[in-house]
């Protein structure tokens, strides 16, 4: 490996155990030393380092659990079981591919569309569990990805898994159930086993990290950023996966906001996570400091192992004309590593305006009068009431404009229980809380671009024409091998920048090997298509793409670009350590400098609304505060590097993969603003990301990329966002439809809505914009403002 690769992996390794969540413990771990260990389960040899689609990174190597255990000195005694499972798994994969091709023929589509991101279900089997030793692990593997949502079967343990886990729990003295998954599993059938660890998907060293944890070289300190409830406790009325219109009937009651309000304690609540040690919390004082509330707390390690604790502060809003969840996360703080009997002070603070509710009647965000109860603890279900702050009269914190069509349903309304009476209450000085008004629209036009002709303006508003056959997999760039796309190079004489973009968010997705031809163009070497795609395409198509691929000549020099695979977004957030997230961004930024990437298509911060969403692993949390804070931290890490920027995504309400190009998310104005847009607002306010990506889906009947309410009223005028806005990668190859209810986005409407770049770019979008100029759908001024903003942001990036 190169020195930079070693350095980046070493930096990550120090923190990866923080991303894991210990759900259950009996004191048998950590082990004193390596020993004989029986390792069972699908994740031992086929350990998932991340998800598929944008979540894939072409890594030099990765360490599975079997290798990680052996690297640490363990003797794996279950080789016969693992060999037998390997044979079963290969048959299951072949059967899976046959079914996908059959479904494609029946639905008159391509197998690659049917199968993109679709998991292979765990087979049923019987293999004797007779490996020797007193210690065992069972590693459950689940992988999901872009293009498909998870099925009910994928959310549950198979009957074989349940049988074997319970048998091993009884058979072995020391047993750890390990979850190598990017998201939720219903663990209710095995919740009573001795030890349960969510290992998650941590990049290339996932297997090594498990060994570190088993031996106590590193200790788990993560917390759940999504509720893990029994499947039977899900809110049944919530719609998901409808082909055309999905109604978000639950309104603001997403995740823990729902469970805490109905008084239902889930199997493993939001914010929950154990360590090898124990902690005590002693609340301190709290006070108002301008627009902020500051709370002090003392944390002590009362156990016998080292560890870190995350202190969480929840606030219950007063009863008002708007219904409220029982509580919402307002702040959190993680301690340093504490040795036994060591204690430390932590400070938690939050801006009161972030607790405001959106009132459609007054078109404003309001802090309603009353007591705001503060609850301090280590999960949403483990808190103590420490006091309240009182607001005498309603305070408008932000003027706004209603921007969405009303849905054809009423949001869920839950019973509002009377709040407790706190012992300590402070009265808020309302003069310290500002009322924010809308920003004026920035319509500056760059003098250098004033001479552009209509076709040149159109080219400035779309990505550079690339190989459309590869654009569907996010590999449309020509300046860097494997880059996702770039802006046009035809306008350099006008100072218009060529911006190169790489996919994310699990690291830079690039070709590992490439060469440069005599004309200066780069060409990736190796498989042109990822295996997960090539095995689903018709063989003539695969052979045709391979024939088009350039091969290096005798005089060409083969070069390398090995990117670091980062933990999945959920794992990063489970650390509850924004400094670690910033480090992940810093690593990406360093590699952007090395490989000449200008914008990284990350981080992704959509809300984990439903357990079935296939891309939840890319996202941080069901909570908008956590989502916004971690997106901001990664952004800061990247953008500390001059000329390098992020692209936060997917704006907005991108919460399912089913019919993702033409699905319509139907949501109330209040739920959109308080749940699905708030994370973007926090990320923009705290870190000023260089660019933002709109989502494929429609929002209340209008494509997000064409939605002036989303892009102008809220993003530009309310959030004050000044960065570049681009579409997700819209290509004709993936817009094959089964008579979709809604049309594909139109590039002219996209540009007119202030969406600066239509990516990855093709002649189709160029024609649409030119047609739109003729019929008045878009004006030359719109295109000039968009192009000027792209140039201005790029110039600003170079000064960072």
DSSP states of 473-488 as a string? TT---SSSTT--EEB-
Confidence (pTM): 0.95
Contact 111, 101 (CB under 8 A): yes
- Name the most confidently modeled range: 5-19, 525-539, 558-572: 5-19
> How far from chain centre, in Å, is Cα 49?
15
> What confidence score (pLDDT) does residue 732 get?
65
Contact 365, 353 (CB under 8 A): yes
Mean pLDDT for 543-550 is 58
Give the separation between CA 718 and CA 399, rounded to whole angstroms: 8
> What confidence score (pLDDT) does residue 17 get?
98
pLDDT in tens, 413-451: 999 988 889 999 999 999 999 999 999 999 999 999 999
Residue 470's pLDDT band, with cuts at 50, 70 and 90, is: very low
Peptide bond into 760 cis (omega under 30): yes
Give the separation between CA 523 and CA 344, rounded to whole angstroms: 54
Contact 294, 257 (CB under 8 A): no
Strand partners, 358: 365
Strand partners, 724: 691
pLDDT in tens, 33-63: 999 999 999 999 999 999 988 768 888 899 9
Residue 603 contacts by C-beta under 8 Å, 6 or more apart in sequence?
504, 505, 569, 585, 620, 630, 631, 634, 635, 646, 648, 649
The angle subtended at Cα 139 by Cα 135 and Cα 144, nearest 5°, is: 170
Residue 472's pLDDT band, with cuts at 50, 70 and 90, is: very low
> How far from chain centre, in Å, is Cα 431?
37
Question: Tokens standing for 151?
Answer: 């099925």
Question: Tokens standing for 722?
Answer: 């000044």
Mean pLDDT for 574-593 is 98
Contact 224, 270 (CB under 8 A): yes
DSSP structural state of residue 177: E
Residue 211's pLDDT band, with cuts at 50, 70 and 90, is: very high
Percentage of the residues of the chain whose pLDDT score is greater than 90: 80
Angle, nearest 10°, between helix axes 780-798 and 763-775?
A: 130
* Kind and range of the H or E run holding 198: strand 196-198
Which phi-psi region, left, alpha or beta, contains residue 108 (left: φ > 0; alpha: ψ -120 to 50)? left
Residue 105 contacts by C-beta under 8 Å, 6 or more apart in sequence?
none
Question: Tokens standing for 629?
Answer: 């804070």
Question: Tokens standing for 68?
Answer: 């990680």
> What confidence score (pLDDT) does residue 544 get?
57
Greatest distance between any 2 Cα atoms in the chain: 80
Give the separation between CA 631 and CA 679, rounded to whole angstroms: 8
> What confidence score (pLDDT) does residue 547 get?
55
Question: Tokens standing for 421?
Answer: 């009476």
Half-sphere exposure of 331 (CA within 13 A, CB side): 18
Residue 116's pLDDT band, with cuts at 50, 70 and 90, is: low
Mean pLDDT for 16-35 is 98
Give the separation between CA 21 and CA 667, rounded to whole angstroms: 32
**CA neighbor of 38 nearest in space, from 158, 163, 176, 148:** 176
Q: Is 672 helix (H, G, I), strand (E, B) or coil?
A: helix
Residue-by-residue DSSP string for 698-725: EETTEEGGG-HIIIIIIIIIIS---SEE
Half-sphere exposure of 777 (CA within 13 A, CB side): 16
> What confidence score (pLDDT) does residue 731 get?
73
Alpha carbon of 741 to those of 269, 583, 698: distances in Å?
A: 38, 44, 11
Alpha carbon of 696 to those of 201, 552, 568: distances in Å?
A: 26, 37, 21
Contact 457, 784 (CB under 8 A): yes
Mean pLDDT for 358-379 is 98
Alpha carbon of 106 to those of 120, 390, 533, 578: distances in Å?
A: 20, 62, 19, 47
Length of the chain: 800
pLDDT in tens, 495-521: 999 999 999 999 999 888 877 777 777
Helix ranges (H only) for 216-297 are 256-262
Residue scoring higher pLDDT (57 or 27): 27
Residue 539's pLDDT band, with cuts at 50, 70 and 90, is: low
Question: Mean pLDDT score of the chain, rounded to an integer?
Answer: 92
One-letter-per-residue 3-state SS of 46-65:
CCCCCCEHHHCCCCCCCCCH
pLDDT in tens, 141-198: 999 988 889 999 999 999 999 999 999 999 999 999 999 999 999 999 999 999 999 9
pLDDT in tens, 62-106: 999 999 999 999 999 999 999 999 999 888 777 777 777 777 777
């Amino acid at each position: 490996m190169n020195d930079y690769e070693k350095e980046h992996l070493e930096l990550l390794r120090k923190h990866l155990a923080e991303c894991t969540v210990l759900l259950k413990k009996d004191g048998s771990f950590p082990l004193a030393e390596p020993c004989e260990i029986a390792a069972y389960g699908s994740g031992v040899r086929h350990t998932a380092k991340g998800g598929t689609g944008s979540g894939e990174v072409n890594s030099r190597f990765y360490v599975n659990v079997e290798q990680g255990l052996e690297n640490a000195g363990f003797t794996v005694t279950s080789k016969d079981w693992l060999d037998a499972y390997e044979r079963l798994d290969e048959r299951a994969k072949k059967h899976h591919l046959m079914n996908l091709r059959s479904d494609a023929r029946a639905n008159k589509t391509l197998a690659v569309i049917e199968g993109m991101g679709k998991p292979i279900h765990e087979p049923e089997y019987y293999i004797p569990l007779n490996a020797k030793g007193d210690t065992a692990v069972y590693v459950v593997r689940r992988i999901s990805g872009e293009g498909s949502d998870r099925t009910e079967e994928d959310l549950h343990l198979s009957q074989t898994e349940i049988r074997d886990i319970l048998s091993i729990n009884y058979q072995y003295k020391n047993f750890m159930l390990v979850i190598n998954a990017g998201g939720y599993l219903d663990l209710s059938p095995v919740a009573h086993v001795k030890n349960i660890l969510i290992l998650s998907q941590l990049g290339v060293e996932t297997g090594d990290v498990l060994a570190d944890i088993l031996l106590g070289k590193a200790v788990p300190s993560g917390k759940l950023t999504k509720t893990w409830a029994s499947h039977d406790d899900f809110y049944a009325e919530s719609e998901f996966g409808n082909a055309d219109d999905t109604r978000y009937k639950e309104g603001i009651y997403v995740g823990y906001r729902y469970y805490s309000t109905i008084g239902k304690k889930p199997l493993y609540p939001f914010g929950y996570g154990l360590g090898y040690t124990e902690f005590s919390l002693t609340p301190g004082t709290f006070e108002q400091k301008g627009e902020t509330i500051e709370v002090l707390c003392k944390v002590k390690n009362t156990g016998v192992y080292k560890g870190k604790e995350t202190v969480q502060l929840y606030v219950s809003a007063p009863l008002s004309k708007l219904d409220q969840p029982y509580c919402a996360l307002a702040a959190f703080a993680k301690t340093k590593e504490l040795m036994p009997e060591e204690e430390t002070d932590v400070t938690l603070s939050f801006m009161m305006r972030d607790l405001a509710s959106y009132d459609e009647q007054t078109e404003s965000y309001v802090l309603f009068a009353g007591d705001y109860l503060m609850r301090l603890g280590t999960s949403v279900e483990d808190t103590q009431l420490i006091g309240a702050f009182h607001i005498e009269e309603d305070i408008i914190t932000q003027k706004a404009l209603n921007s969405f069509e009303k849905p054809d349903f009423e949001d869920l309304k839950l019973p509002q229980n009377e709040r407790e009476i706190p012992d300590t209450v402070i009265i808020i000085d309302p003069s310290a809380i500002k009322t924010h008004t809308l920003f004026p629209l920035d319509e500056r036009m760059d003098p250098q671009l004033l001479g552009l002709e209509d076709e040149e303006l159109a080219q400035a508003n779309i990505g550079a024409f690339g190989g459309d056959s590869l654009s569907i997999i996010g590999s449309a760039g020509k300046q860097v091998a494997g880059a996702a796309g770039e802006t046009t190079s035809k306008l350099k004489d006008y100072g218009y920048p060529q911006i190169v973009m790489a996919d994310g968010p699990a690291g830079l997705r690039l070709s590992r090997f490439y060469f440069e031809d005599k004309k200066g163009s780069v060409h990736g070497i190796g498989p042109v298509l990822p295996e997960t795609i090539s095995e689903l395409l018709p063989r003539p198509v695969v052979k045709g793409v391979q024939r088009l691929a350039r091969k290096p000549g005798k005089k060409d020099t083969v070069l390398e670009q090995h990117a670091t695979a980062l933990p999945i977004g959920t794992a990063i957030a489970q650390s509850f350590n924004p400094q670690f997230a910033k480090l992940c961004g810093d690593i990406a930024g360093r590699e952007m400098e090395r490989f000449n990437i200008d914008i990284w298509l990350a981080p992704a911060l959509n809300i984990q609304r439903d357990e079935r969403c296939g891309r939840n692993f890319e996202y941080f949390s069901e909570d908008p505060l956590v989502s916004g804070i971690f997106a901001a931290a990664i952004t800061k890490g990247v953008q500390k590097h001059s000329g390098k920027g992020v692209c936060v995504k997917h704006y907005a309400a991108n919460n399912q993969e089913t019919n993702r190009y033409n699905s319509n998310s139907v949501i109330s104005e209040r739920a959109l603003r308080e749940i699905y847009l708030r994370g973007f607002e926090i990320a923009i306010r705290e870190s000023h990301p260089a660019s933002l990506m709109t989502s494929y889906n429609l929002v209340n009947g209008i494509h997000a990329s064409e939605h002036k309410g989303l892009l102008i009223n809220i993003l530009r005028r309310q959030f004050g966002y000044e960065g570049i806005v681009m579409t997700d990668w819209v290509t004709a190859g993936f817009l094959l439809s089964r008579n979709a209810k809604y049309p594909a986005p139109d590039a002219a409407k996209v540009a007119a809505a202030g969406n600066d770049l239509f990516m990855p770019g093709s002649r189709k979008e160029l024609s649409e914009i030119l047609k739109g100029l003729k019929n008045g759908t878009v004006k030359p001024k719109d295109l000039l403002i968009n192009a000027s903003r792209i140039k201005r942001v790029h110039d600003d990036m170079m000064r960072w």
